[in-house]
Structure 1
Amino acid sequence: MLRNIKYWTKAGIHSEMDDDQKRKVFLTNAMSLFLAAVMILVGLNDILNTENYLAAYRRGGVLVLMLLIPYLNHKRFYNLSKSIFLFFPSIILLGIPILIGDFYPGQFIWFQYASAVFCSVPFLLFDLEKHAGYITVFFIYYLTVTLFIDKLLLFYSEPPQAMVELVSNFTDFKLPPLFVAFFSTTTLLWYNRSNSKYEKKLKSTNQELEETQEELIAKNEEYEAINRNLEALVEERTKLIESKNRQIIDYANINAHKVRGPLARIMGLINVSQFSRDPDDLKSLFEKLGPPSEELNLIIGEINKTLEQVDGDDVEEE
C-alpha cells in the first residue's frame, strides 16, 4: 500500500526536471491523493450517517478526478492536472450544491474558509515566473468565491434569520476568511521568493564547485603528464648512465689488459738497452721497439675514440 502511494506521488517526475519542478509535481500528486482519501471518508459519512446520496455522488466524482491527476502527470500534462485539481473540486463541491439547493447552514462557514485557503494553493503548484496567468486566474477565482459565496447561498436558499444577520456582519463573518486568504498568500509568496533566492545562490555555488572540480581535474591530468614525462626522462637518463658505465668499463678493460702488454715490452727493451754498449745490439733492440710502439699507438687511438664517443653523448644530451 505504502509502496503504491509512494509510486503515485512521484508520477510524472523525471530526471531532467529541476528540484522546484519536481517538488511542484510531487505536491500536486500528494494533495490530489489526500483529497481523494478525504472524499472517501466524507462519502462514507454521507451514505452511512446522513444518507445524503447526492452528496456522496459528488464526492465520488471528485474522487475519480483526483485519482486521474497522477496519471495526467505521468503523461506530462502538468498544467492540465493542476487546473483540474484547482477548479473542478470547487465546482462540484460548492457550485452544484448551490444550484440544486443541497446544502445545510453550516456550509456558510466552511465554504468560504475552504476557498480562502485555496487562494494560496496556485502559488504553491505553479511557477510564478512561467505560469503567472494560471496563478492570477485561480487566485481571482477563489478570492471571488470567498467574497460572494455567502451571497450565492442566500440567493438560492432560505436560511434562518439568525444566519442572514450573521452573514450581513462583514467584520465577524467576512473579514476573518479574507484575512486567512491574504495571510496564506503573502506567506507563500514570501516563502517562494526566499526559496528561489536560496536556490539561485545554491545553483551558483554548485556551478562554482563544478568549475573548481574541472580545474582540479585539469591540474591533476597536467601533473600526471608531468610525472609520465619525468618517468620517461629518468628512464632515458638511466639508460645513458648505463651506457657510459659500460664505456668506462670498456676503457678500464683496455687500460688493464691491452695497454699493459705493449708497454711492458717497451719498458723491458729499454731496460735491456741500458746493459749493452754494442751498437748492433742497441740497433736490434730499437728495431724491436717498433711493433709494441705501433701496437700501443693503436690502443691509444682506440681509447681516444671511446672517450670521444662519451663526450659526444654528453653533447647530444645537452
Structure 2
Amino acid sequence: MKNTSAWLGRISRFGVKSENEDDISRRVVFSNVIFISLPVVYIIFMIIDLESYLIPISQLRFDQFVVPIVILICFCGLYLNKKGITTLSRVLFIIVWPLLLHLIPIKLLFSPSDYMLAYPFGIVFHGLLIQLMFSFKHEKVLFSLFMLINAIGMISFPALLVYFDSDNDIPRAIVNYRYYFFDGILYWLLFNLVIFYIMHIIESNIQRINDAKLLIENQKEELDSINQNLEMLIEQRTKSLLEQNNKLQKHAFFNAHLLRGPFCRIKGLVNLQELSSEKDDLDAIKIRLEESLSELDSRLHEIQRMVETNSSDI
C-alpha cells in the first residue's frame, strides 16, 4: 500500500519542476490526478456494463466505443505532462473530452434520451475540470475562453438536444419545460461558483504558507549569516586576546628585570646607610639612592605606558 501511494505521488508530480509550487504547477498536479482518476472510473463503468461490451465492435454505440478512447487520451495526457508539455496536454483534454463524450454522440446517435441528464451534467463537470486544470490568475485567456464556451454550451443544451433529436425520442414537454433549463443553469452556477471559491481559498492559504515559508527561509539565512559572522568575530577576538596575553607575559618578564636592578640597588643602599656613620659616606649613599629612586620611577612610568598601549589594542 505504501509503495502504491508513493508511485501515485510520483505520477501526480509529472511536469512539476519546482518544489515551491505556483498556481500553474498545482494545476498540472490536478490534471495528473484527473488523468489517473478518470480511467479508473471508466474502467469500473465498463465492468458494470460489461454485457454491452461483449458484443461485436460493429454493434457498439459510439458513446460506448469512445470510453476506452478517453482512457487512452488520459494516459496520453500523463505522458505529455511527464515530458513537460503540460499546457498542450490540458488544452487537448479539455477540448477532446466533451467532443467525444457529449457533442459527437448527440449528433451521431440523434440525442439519445439518456443524454437529457448526461449532457447537462457533463457540461457542469466539464466546467469543474476547467477550473481544476487552468489557473485564473496566470492563464486568464485559456481559463476565460474555455469557461465562456462551457457557459454557452450550458445555455444552449436544450436547443442542441432538440436540434439533433431526429428520431423524436426525447419528450418535448420536458425539454421545453423552462425549469428543466433553469435547473441546469442553477446547478452549473452552484457547482462552478462553489469550486471557484474553494479554489480561491486554497490558493490564498497556500500563498500565505509559501510566504511564511519564504520568510522563515530568509530569516534562517540571516541567522546563519549572523552566526557565521559571530563565529568569525569570536575567533578573531580570541586570537587577538591570545596575542595580547603573550605580549603581556613577555612584558611582565621584561619589566620584572627592569625593576629588579633599581630595586636591588635601593635595597643595598638602604642597608649601607644603616651601617655607615660617616657624613661623606651618607651623602654619597643619599645621592646614589636618589638616582636609583629616579631610575625606578622612570621604569614604572615606562611600564605604565606599555600597559596602557596594550590595553588600548585589546
TM category, shorter: 0.7 to 0.9
Structure 1 pair 203/11, CA: closer, same or farther in 2 (3 Å)?
Answer: closer
* Partner in structure 1 of residue 28 of structure 2: 25
* Partner in structure 2 of residue 310 of structure 1: 303
Higher CA-based Rg: 1
Q: 1:7 aligns with which of 10, 20, 33?
A: 10
Task: State how far apart, in whole Å, the 2-side matches of 1:295 and 1:73 are.
Answer: 103
Matching of residue 92 in structure 1 with residue 100 in structure 2: yes
- Work out whether residues 122 and 135 of structure 1, in 8 Å CA contact, stay in contact via their aligned partners in 2: yes
Structure 1 pair 20/125, CA: closer, same or farther in 2 (3 Å)?
Answer: same
Alignment of structure 1 residues 174-185 onto 2, 5 Å: 174-185=181-192
Deviations 1:224-257 (A, max 9, x none): 4554454345435534543453355335643665
Deviations 1:59-112 (A, max 9, x none): 121111110111111122222111122121211122332232277422221221
Structure 1 pair 26/166, CA: closer, same or farther in 2 (3 Å)?
Answer: same
Task: State how far apart, in whole Å, the 2-side matches of 1:92 and 1:8 are.
Answer: 25
Matching of residue 189 in structure 1 with residue 196 in structure 2: yes
Task: State how far apart, in whole Å, the 1-side matches of 2:116 and 2:298 are.
Answer: 117
Worse-superposed segment, 74-83 or 238-247: 238-247
* Partner in structure 1 of residue 245 of structure 2: 238
- Work out whether residues 94 and 130 of structure 2, in 8 Å CA contact, stay in contact via their aligned partners in 1: yes
Structure 1 pair 17/84, CA: closer, same or farther in 2 (3 Å)?
Answer: farther
- Work out whether residues 15 and 84 of structure 2, in 8 Å CA contact, stay in contact via their aligned partners in 1: yes
Task: State how far apart, in whole Å, the 1-side matches of 2:7 and 2:272 are.
Answer: 108
Matching of residue 128 in structure 1 with residue 136 in structure 2: yes
Normalised to the residue count of structure 2, the TM-score between the two structures is 0.77
Q: 2:75 aligns with which of 56, 67, 82?
A: 67
* Partner in structure 2 of residue 158 of structure 1: 167
Using the TM superposition, give the Cα deviation of residue 156 of structure 1 relative to its aligned residue in structure 2, in angstroms: 3.7
Task: State how far apart, in whole Å, the 1-side matches of 2:93 and 2:132 are.
Answer: 12
Q: Which amino acid aligns with 2:305?
A: G
Aligned-residue CA RMSD in angstroms?
Answer: 3.7
Task: State how far apart, in whole Å, the 1-side matches of 2:191 and 2:133 are.
Answer: 14
Q: Which amino acid aligns with 2:96?
A: F
Secondary structure at the residue paired with 1:231?
helix
Task: State how far apart, in whole Å, the 2-side matches of 1:39 and 1:195 are.
Answer: 28
Task: State how far apart, in whole Å, the 1-side matches of 2:187 and 2:244 are.
Answer: 83
Identity across the alignment (%): 14
Secondary structure at the residue paired with 2:156?
helix
Structure 1 pair 203/33, CA: closer, same or farther in 2 (3 Å)?
Answer: closer
Structure 1 pair 47/191, CA: closer, same or farther in 2 (3 Å)?
Answer: closer
* Partner in structure 2 of residue 283 of structure 1: none
Deviations 1:20-65 (A, max 9, x none): 3332111101112211122223334555246453444311211111
Number of residue pairs the alignment of both structures matches: 302
- The higher relative CO (CA closer than 8 Å, separation ≥ 6) is in 2
Deviations 1:148-174 (A, max 9, x none): 34443432432446x222112121x22
Unaligned runs of 5+ in 1: 275-285
Secondary structure at the residue paired with 2:18?
coil
Task: State how far apart, in whole Å, the 2-side matches of 1:232 and 1:252 are.
Answer: 30
Task: State how far apart, in whole Å, the 2-side matches of 1:180 and 1:309 are.
Answer: 99
Q: 1:250 aligns with which of 254, 257, 262?
A: 257
Structure 1 pair 307/209, CA: closer, same or farther in 2 (3 Å)?
Answer: same
Task: State how far apart, in whole Å, the 1-side matches of 2:290 and 2:187 are.
Answer: 117
Deviations 1:252-299 (A, max 9, x none): 64366555456545654x24x59xxxxxxxxxxx69x98x89987886
* Partner in structure 1 of residue 114 of structure 2: 106
- Work out whether residues 122 and 138 of structure 1, in 8 Å CA contact, stay in contact via their aligned partners in 2: yes
Task: State how far apart, in whole Å, the 1-side matches of 2:110 and 2:8 are.
Answer: 33
- Work out whether residues 127 and 147 of structure 2, in 8 Å CA contact, stay in contact via their aligned partners in 1: yes
Secondary structure at the residue paired with 1:142?
helix
- Work out whether residues 66 and 101 of structure 2, in 8 Å CA contact, stay in contact via their aligned partners in 1: yes
